[in-house]
Structure 1
Amino acid sequence: MTKIVNQLTSKMEIGSPMASLYLLGNPDHYTSHTFTPFYWQNYGNKIIGLSVVNDYVFRPKELEHMNLYDFVSHYDNSTSLDDVSPKAYYFIKEHPFCKSQMIRLLPVKKHTIPNFIGATLPRKDQGSREYYCKTMLTLFKPWRTGKHLKAVNDTWDDAFETHKFTDHQKFLLKNFHIRYECLDANDDFFAQSMPTDSLRL
């Protein structure tokens, strides 16, 4: 009976986040950053139309030297023309909604982390090197057309090697690859733990 009572008591215990959720209406989980859904392939494939790609391609002149990663992280693109914030900017005239929308710089505490949605980002050590270089340049080198990313006679690898990435961008590039390193380590561990007879099958 004592064991049964002890088990029932443990089932009745709840953690502080759960208690806070029920009693105070607070969220049941916390993160150090806010994440923004980022359909990155649209930009890599340069799908131009009535889409979010336009917001970057036709970004305000004040943001001419802003790369795509920072643009997604630091700006709110759903601001109306009624916004009187000093950090709100007009899209250039080629933007289909330049007469009805502006873009606003978010306060530092509201900066977000792009959450890459769609296919996984290419890895630097496998697959097409050209595709990897093209994707990383699309994220970290300012552009309005593909001509701004590389010279006509250069390969994507040439453009990648000559581009001067900042220390922060190099840190991000390294972090992008950590996911693959973890998957590789998991595969290696699984292969080593498999019985020899199973591998023969």
Structure 2
Amino acid sequence: MRMPRALVENSHIDVSTGQITMRRSHPWINNFNEWVISACRCNMDIKFIWTGSDAKALVYYIADYVTKSSLAFYDMFALAQRGIKSIEQQQATCGTESAIEKSRKLVLRCYNTIASHQEVSGVQVASYLMNYGDHYTTHTFRNIFLISIENYLQAEIMKVRLSEKDIDEEESDELSIPSHEDQEDEAKETEEQFILEPTKTKSGHSYVMVNTRLDYQHRSKDLTALWLYEFISLFHKKVIDKSDRRLLANAKASDGERLSIEGTKMNERHTFASLHPQSSSHTLIKHTNPVVPVLLGPQIPRREREDTRERYCRALLTLFVPWRSVGDLCAL
């Protein structure tokens, strides 16, 4: 309803439609809540969302408002045309450039012309100057490349089965390469990823290949009952510092066990098993606030397909059943 608005002597509810109409004593005043407006000290137009049509209108309004562009399409086209004309005038005086260089300059000029006319709010400027982030979340997220872990387990299963059965070379090739990984490009996408990180050994400092799977498999004995999803949510790896060394010095054993933090304000800590490449330089520490694991990479195998159902089940077991080897997840 646009200004001026109709006056309403008393607040009432339309029984037939459920529409709530608030009392209005002035045609140029929006609906307001005296407590909210006193606290916020700003303009407001409050409305009770009662009917389905009002709710739909609200969703449409909010979605349209937050996704609107600061520049209209016709303005962008006009600015792009200005950039093209500028490039054409420049090329008239210098015609020795290659087509690739001309294209690069054209795209860059159009982008700079449009970007220079973008509206920037005071909040955006302040956020940039204060080096704040460009987004806000209620939780912290951590990525997990599940399909690569599942493929590692698949390869381990094939190794065990091939070692127990006398299978000729042709059959073993068919078993070791699943049907959906025949393509080389797809195999690269699902290949297990490693990170090169420093570690400290008896011979000095060196670098090792590690990933989340190794951290989980070689976790401490006290975390045996923890499944992969919960492990990633609750724990992370950190370099051993002075406070950790004091705990290690007081520990009876440091091979994959929980460290005693009694009398301190430290978060729960665990050492890695000796087989972990960073067992001598890193420990596991519990998050103060749990993080949310996010699955990345290709989708997990489909449940309804007969040829991938086993792998689908194994992928879910990988996330929500404690394991250290493939034998903990399925019969070999």
TM-score tier, shorter chain, comes to: 0.5 to 0.7
Higher RCO (Cα < 8 Å, 6 or more apart): 1
Structure 1, residues 162-194: CA drift from partner, whole Å, max 9, x if none?
A: xxxxxxxxxxxxxxxxxxxxxxxxxxxxxxxxx
Is 1:120 the counterpart of 2:280? The answer is no
Match of 2:237 among 57, 63, 77: 77
Give the paired residue count: 142
Aligned to 2:210: 51
Is 1:99 the counterpart of 2:272? The answer is no
Offset at 1:58?
0.6
Offset at 1:74?
1.6
Aligned to 1:28: 134
Q: What amino acid is aligned across from residue 21 of structure 1 in structure 2?
A: S
Q: Is the 8 A contact 2:228 2:322 kept in 1?
A: yes
Offset at 1:102?
0.8
Q: Is the 8 A contact 1:40 1:118 kept in 2?
A: yes
Q: What amino acid is aligned across from residue 32 of structure 1 in structure 2?
A: T
Query: Against the structure 1 CA distance between its residues 135 and 12, is the aligned structure 2 distance closer, same or farther, given a 3 Å change threshold?
Result: closer
Aligned to 1:177: none
Identity of counterpart residues, as a percentage?
29
Is 1:60 the counterpart of 2:239? The answer is no
Secondary structure (helix, strand or coil) at the match of 2:316 reads: helix
Secondary structure (helix, strand or coil) at the match of 1:114 reads: strand
Secondary structure (helix, strand or coil) at the match of 1:44 reads: helix
Question: Max radius of gyration: which structure?
Answer: 2
Aligned to 1:136: 316
Question: Distance in 1 between the 2:145 and 2:272 partners?
Answer: 21
Aligned to 1:88: 269
Runs of 4+ in 1 over 3 A off after TM superposition: 11-17, 22-25, 47-50, 81-86, 122-127
Q: What amino acid is aligned across from residue 77 of structure 1 in structure 2?
A: K
Q: What amino acid is aligned across from residue 115 of structure 1 in structure 2?
A: V
Q: Is the 8 A contact 2:147 2:299 kept in 1?
A: no
Question: Distance in 2 between the 1:17 and 1:148 partners?
Answer: 53
Offset at 1:50?
3.5
Q: What amino acid is aligned across from residue 135 of structure 1 in structure 2?
A: A
Question: Distance in 1 between the 2:224 and 2:282 partners?
Answer: 18
Question: Distance in 1 between the 2:330 and 2:144 partners?
Answer: 23
Q: Is the 8 A contact 1:79 1:104 kept in 2?
A: no
Q: Which runs of 5+ in 1 are unaligned?
A: 1-6, 153-201
Structure 1, residues 8-40: CA drift from partner, whole Å, max 9, x if none?
A: 9xx775457524424543322212222212222
Q: What's the TM-score once normalised by structure 2's chain length? A: 0.38
Q: Which has the higher helix share?
A: 1
Structure 1, residues 110-153: CA drift from partner, whole Å, max 9, x if none?
A: x222232222233434572111111010011000001111233x
Query: Against the structure 1 CA distance between its residues 29 and 86, is the aligned structure 2 distance closer, same or farther, given a 3 Å change threshold?
Result: closer
Q: Is the 8 A contact 1:37 1:115 kept in 2?
A: yes
Secondary structure (helix, strand or coil) at the match of 2:142 reads: strand
Query: Against the structure 1 CA distance between its residues 17 and 41, is the aligned structure 2 distance closer, same or farther, given a 3 Å change threshold?
Result: farther
Q: Which runs of 5+ in 2 are unaligned?
A: 1-71, 76-116, 153-191, 195-207, 245-265
